[in-house]
């Protein structure tokens, strides 16, 4: 069972980004922070609200030297069609069509064949520093993910409701 402090499972997934199909692996992000978020399916109800919300905060992720990738069990061709409907995204959507990565990250609903709504923050050394796995019916808070990412990057203890610029704890 994957947990915080573990080495993040490697992956090799095809992705769609800016009109191109390309392979992505965990090694591509070595030396940078990475946020991987799994979502249920393209063309679903809650997921487009999240993809757009992540897109509106892309500058915040870039300021924190963080790459962002979305992952679902849909094909890259489905991702392409969905992006055409949603509008351009500033991060890639990766296809876990064989469901191996969802299994490795312990978020696959085997009976449905889809992933749970989940978020993983991985540090530049490939260590899982934060993970949240939630019911598929409730969208996540992207500002909270940015806040936690900034807190982790301080390398210090941060109190409840900490915000960038606030004091850390000794």
> Catalytic residue numbers?
47
Q: Which long-range contacts (C-beta less than 8 Å, at least 24 apart) are formed by 130-139? A: 130/4, 131/2, 131/3, 131/4, 133/106, 133/107, 136/40, 136/46, 137/46, 138/46, 139/46, 139/49, 139/50, 139/53
C-alpha 102/C-alpha 155 separation (Å) is 29
| C-alpha to C-alpha distance for 77 and 99, rounded to whole angstroms | 16
**Which tokens is 113 given?**
């064949």
Going by C-alpha positions, the residue among 109, 120, 87, 143 that lies closest to residue 40 is 109
């Amino acid at each position: 069972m994957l947990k915080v402090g573990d080495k993040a499972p490697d992956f090799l997934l095809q992705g769609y980004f800016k009109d191109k199909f390309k392979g992505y692996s965990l090694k591509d992000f070595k030396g940078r922070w990475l946020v991987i978020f799994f979502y249920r399916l393209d063309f679903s109800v809650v997921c487009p609200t999240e993809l757009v919300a992540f897109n509106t905060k892309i500058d915040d992720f870039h300021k924190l030297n963080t790459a962002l990738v979305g992952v679902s069990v849909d094909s890259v061709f489905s991702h392409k069609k969905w992006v055409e409907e949603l509008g351009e995204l500033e991060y890639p959507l990766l296809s876990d069509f064989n469901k191996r990565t969802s299994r490795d990250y312990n978020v696959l609903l085997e009976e449905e064949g889809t992933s749970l709504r989940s978020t993983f923050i991985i540090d530049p050394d490939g260590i899982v520093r934060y993970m949240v796995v939630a019911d598929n019916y409730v969208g996540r808070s992207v500002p909270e993910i940015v806040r936690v990412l900034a807190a982790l990057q301080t390398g210090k203890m941060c109190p409840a409701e900490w915000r960038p610029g606030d004091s850390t704890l000794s």
